[in-house]
Structure 1
Amino acid sequence: MTAVTGTPAAARQNPRRWWALGALVASMLVLGFDMTILNVALPTMAGQLDADTGEQQGMADAYVVVFAALMLPAGLLGDRFGRRRMLMTGLGVFLAGSVLGALAHDVSLVVAARAVMGLGGALVMPLALAVLPALFGPGERTKAVGVVSAAAALGAPLGPVVGGWLLDHFWWGSIFLINVPMAAIGLTACAFLLPETRDPSSPAVDVLSTALTAAGLGALVHAVIEAPARGWGDPLVLGTSAGAALLLTALVLRERRMTRPMLDLALLRDRGFCLHTLAATLVMFVLSGLMFVLPPYLQAVEGNDAFGAGMRILPMMGGLIVAAKGAEPVVRRFGARAVISGGLVVLAFAAILGSRTDLHSGYGFTALWLSVAGLGFGFAIVPAMDAALGALPVERAGSGTGLLMTVRQVGGALGIALLGSLLASAYTRGLDTGGLPGAPADAAGESVIAAHAVAERLGSARLAASADAAYVHGMGLVLLVSGVAALVAALLVAALLPRSGDGPAPRPAMGTAEDDARQ
Structure 2
Amino acid sequence: MSAPALSRSPRRWLALAALTLSVLIVGLDGTVINVALPTIAGELHADSSQLQWIGGGYLLTLSVAMLPVGLLGDRYGHKRLLLAGITLFGLASLGGTLASSPGAVIAARAVLGLGAAAIMPLSMALLPRIFSKEETPKAIAVWTAATALGMPVGPLVGGWLLDHFWWGSVFLFNAPVAVLALAAGLWLLPRDTNRPRTAAFDALGTVLGGLGITALVYGTILIPQDGWTGPGVIVSLAAALVLLIAFVLRERRHAHPIVDLRLFADRRFLWGTLIAVFVNFAVMGILFVLPQYLQSVLGHDSFGTGIRVLPLIGGLMASAAASESLVPRFGARTVVPLGLLALATGVLLGAATDASDGYGVTALWLSLTGLGFGLAVVPATSLVMGALPADRPGSGTSLLETVQQLGAVLGIAGLGSLLGYGYLARIHTDGLPAQAAHAARDSVAGADAVALQLHDAALAASAHEAFVHGMNLVLMACGVIALLGAGLAALFLPGRSSRSTTSPTVAEAAPEHGEFVA
TM over 0.5: yes
Q: Give 1:151 shift.
A: 2.0
Q: Which region of structure 1 is more displaced relative to structure 2, 9-18 or 259-268?
A: 9-18
Q: Give RMSD over aligned pairs.
A: 3.0
Distance 1:318 1:54, change over 3 A: farther
Whether the aligned pair in 2 keeps the contact of 1:54 and 1:226 (CA below 8 Å) is no
Letter in 2 for 1:389: M
Counterpart CA distance in 1 for 2:46 and 2:442 is 9
The alignment status of 1:419 with 2:415, answered yes or no, reads yes
Distance 1:48 1:128, change over 3 A: same
Whether the aligned pair in 1 keeps the contact of 2:29 and 2:154 (CA below 8 Å) is yes
Which residue of 1 is the match for residue 113 of structure 2?
118
Q: Give 1:354 shift.
A: 0.9
Query: Which of 197, 217, 242 is equivalent to 2:192?
Result: 197
Query: Which of 250, 268, 283 is equivalent to 1:287?
Result: 283
In the alignment, structure 2 segments of 5+ residues that lack a partner are none
Counterpart CA distance in 1 for 2:459 and 2:44 is 22
Q: Give 1:59 shift.
A: 4.2
Query: Which of 306, 309, 324 is equivalent to 2:305?
Result: 309
- 1:16-165 counterparts in 2 under 5 A? 16-41=11-36, 58-104=53-99, 108-165=103-160
Which residue of 1 is the match for residue 243 of structure 2?
247
Structure 1, residues 76-95: CA drift from partner, whole Å, max 9, x if none? 11111221111111011111
Structure 1, residues 246-289: CA drift from partner, whole Å, max 9, x if none? 11111111111101111210001212210001111111111122
Letter in 1 for 2:170: I
Distance 1:282 1:204, change over 3 A: farther
Structure 1, residues 472-515: CA drift from partner, whole Å, max 9, x if none? 111111111111111111111111112337775784169x89xx
Whether the aligned pair in 1 keeps the contact of 2:337 and 2:487 (CA below 8 Å) is yes
- 1:212-223 counterparts in 2 under 5 A? 212-223=208-219
Counterpart CA distance in 1 for 2:237 and 2:208 is 14
Distance 1:113 1:469, change over 3 A: farther
Query: Which of 488, 491, 504 is equivalent to 1:495?
Result: 491
Structure 1, residues 407-438: CA drift from partner, whole Å, max 9, x if none? 12222222322212322333344333333333
Q: Give 1:152 shift.
A: 1.8
TM-score scaled by length of structure 2: 0.89
Structure 1, residues 68-112: CA drift from partner, whole Å, max 9, x if none? 322121111111122111111101111123234344566555443
Query: Aligned residues, how many?
Result: 508
Which residue of 2 is the match for residue 211 of structure 1?
207
Residue 433 of structure 1 aligns to a residue in which SS?
A: coil
Letter in 2 for 1:327: S
Q: Which region of structure 1 is more displaced relative to structure 2, 44-53 or 354-363?
A: 44-53
Counterpart CA distance in 2 for 1:424 and 1:47 is 26
Q: Give 1:60 shift.
A: 4.0
Counterpart CA distance in 1 for 2:281 and 2:256 is 30
Counterpart CA distance in 2 for 1:21 and 1:65 is 28
The alignment status of 1:256 with 2:252, answered yes or no, reads yes
Q: Which region of structure 1 is more displaced relative to structure 2, 44-53 or 225-234?
A: 44-53
Counterpart CA distance in 2 for 1:295 and 1:108 is 27
Whether the aligned pair in 2 keeps the contact of 1:68 and 1:122 (CA below 8 Å) is yes
Whether the aligned pair in 2 keeps the contact of 1:228 and 1:424 (CA below 8 Å) is no
Distance 1:341 1:419, change over 3 A: same
Counterpart CA distance in 2 for 1:244 and 1:489 is 26
> Identity, % of aligned pairs?
50
TM-score scaled by length of structure 1: 0.89
Counterpart CA distance in 2 for 1:146 and 1:16 is 18
Whether the aligned pair in 1 keeps the contact of 2:266 and 2:501 (CA below 8 Å) is no
Structure 1, residues 181-214: CA drift from partner, whole Å, max 9, x if none? 1111101111122222256336554343333333
Residue 189 of structure 1 aligns to a residue in which SS?
A: helix
Letter in 2 for 1:125: M
Query: Which of 340, 363, 366 is equivalent to 1:367?
Result: 363
Structure 1, residues 427-452: CA drift from partner, whole Å, max 9, x if none? 34433333333333333333222222
Counterpart CA distance in 2 for 1:415 and 1:110 is 26
Distance 1:317 1:284, change over 3 A: same
Which residue of 1 is the match for residue 180 of structure 2?
185
Structure 1, residues 145-192: CA drift from partner, whole Å, max 9, x if none? 222222222333333332333333334443322211111110111112
The alignment status of 1:381 with 2:381, answered yes or no, reads no
Residue 338 of structure 2 aligns to a residue in which SS?
A: helix
Counterpart CA distance in 2 for 1:266 and 1:29 is 31
Query: Which of 335, 338, 341 is equivalent to 1:339?
Result: 335
Whether the aligned pair in 1 keeps the contact of 2:316 and 2:371 (CA below 8 Å) is yes
Which residue of 1 is the match for residue 161 of structure 2?
166
Q: Give 1:135 shift.
A: 2.2
Which residue of 2 is the match for residue 476 of structure 1?
472
Q: Give 1:46 shift.
A: 7.0
Structure 1, residues 342-399: CA drift from partner, whole Å, max 9, x if none? 1111111111111111211111111111111111111111111111111111210111
Residue 332 of structure 1 aligns to a residue in which SS?
A: helix
Which residue of 1 is the match for residue 350 of structure 2?
354
Counterpart CA distance in 2 for 1:199 and 1:288 is 39
